[in-house]
Amino acid sequence: MIQVGIIGSTGYTAGELIRILMTHPEVEIKWCFSQSAGGEKIAQHHPDLFMHEGNFTNQIDTSVDVIFLCLGHGNSKKALENYKFNSSTKIIDLSNDFRLSEDSFFNDQKFAYGLPEANKEAIQKANAIANPGCFATAIQLALIPALEQGIVNSEIHVHGITGSTGAGKSPSSTSHFSWRNNNISIYKLFTHQHLAEVNETLSEVSTKDVPQLNFVPMRGGFTRGIFISLYFNSECSEEECIQLYKSYYADDPFVHVTSNEISLKQVVNTNYNLLQIKKIEGKVHITSIIDNLVKGASGQAVQNMNLMFGIEESTGLKLKSNYF
């Protein structure tokens, strides 16, 4: 069994991680560390895990096989400086501390970028992983095949809407129910932090210069999920595009390509990414949807763990959505 430790255990991503790992057939959760909640019941902070009888700890056993860092951005480096883990312990970080190539080294250890559909071989060989951002995951999966095959002939226009859990568990004015419910707003117009990792990945796979990416992120009046709508000019027909994407993702168990209409409920609570492709009057339109807490965070982290330990990629992740 793979011995797992989780640091930063009271937030949304940690709660999802515990939910997934509780039933993973190859995993034993050894400890869930929380500086603020040590000794308290896990179910006290994650009520959906009422069946879990364990407590949070404020002590860290550095001998585990893998640690998941579920900390706020900027805090993962501090944690690794404070706690010296065995050289054999694998690290999966869910923050943005190590995602960019210029930030990917820590104490001579390189963090591989953890997008399995684009970087599987490097993930399998890595000892440390930087888990991608949620918006970044949905956008990259929608664009990598097109840029790799050079079928994009214009700037790319992206609109993305995210649920309130994307803002984290700590309450804020824009995640308060009274403000968020029945509401929608734009934020970080053209400047969202995930653009840097998106452009870096697309530059690595593209056969041409990466086109301008015009990203309009939005807050939605729902809790979970990311809905991306993007388009670009292309000479590729709809049938050719669909076949291109299906071929590219043929060996990737969590990406499904279709020409049928898709809706966010199809992926909520799952590790799937659904891509709908349409071609209208010279423009290819792609809809890309994921659960921001699963494929956009904790599920993808477990997918990376499986690859690092040589386990079948989808182990513990065959989750079904709640469609009704």
Contact (Cβ atoms closer than 8 angstroms) between residue 139 and residue 210: no
Q: Which two tokens stand for residue 11?
A: 């937030």
Domain with CATH 3.30.360.10 in the chain: 134-292
Helix (H) or strand (E) holding 299: helix 299-308
Place 35 in a pLDDT band, splitting at 50, 70 and 90. confident
Mean per-residue pLDDT for 277-292? 97
Summarised one tens digit per residue, pLDDT across range 110-143 is 999 999 999 999 999 999 999 999 999 999 999 9
Percentage of residues in the chain having pLDDT higher than 90: 77
Contact (Cβ atoms closer than 8 angstroms) between residue 25 and residue 42: no
Residue 170 has pLDDT above 80, yes or no: no
CA 115 vs. chain centroid, Å, equals 8
Q: Which residues pair with 218 in a beta bridge?
A: 161, 186
Q: Please spell the DSSP secondary structure of 265-298, one letter per residue.
A: GGTTTSS-EEEEEEEETTEEEEEEEE-TTIIIII
Given the candidates 3.40.50.261, 3.40.50.720, 2.40.30.170, 3.30.70.141, the CATH classification of the domain at 2-131+295-308 is 3.40.50.720
Mean per-residue pLDDT for 77-83? 89
Nearest-5° Cα angle at 66, 2 to 96: 140
Contact (Cβ atoms closer than 8 angstroms) between residue 215 and residue 197: no
Task: Tell the residue number behind the tokens 């951002």, with chain if given.
Answer: 133
Residue 177 has a pLDDT of 83
Using only C-alpha atoms, the chain has a radius of gyration, in whole angstroms, of 19
Residue 167 has pLDDT above 80, yes or no: no
In CATH, 134-292 is 3.30.2180.10 = no
Percentage of residues in the chain having pLDDT higher than 70: 100
Residue 59 has a pLDDT of 85
Q: Which residues pair with 214 in a beta bridge?
A: 157
Mean per-residue pLDDT for 101-106? 92
Chain mean pLDDT for the chain: 94
Domain with CATH 3.40.50.720 in the chain: 2-131+295-308
CA 272 vs. chain centroid, Å, equals 11
Predicted TM-score (pTM) of the model is 0.95
Residue 25 has a pLDDT of 97
Residue 108 has a pLDDT of 83
Residues that are catalytic:
134
Q: Which of 247, 225, 229 is nearest to 299 (CA)?
A: 225
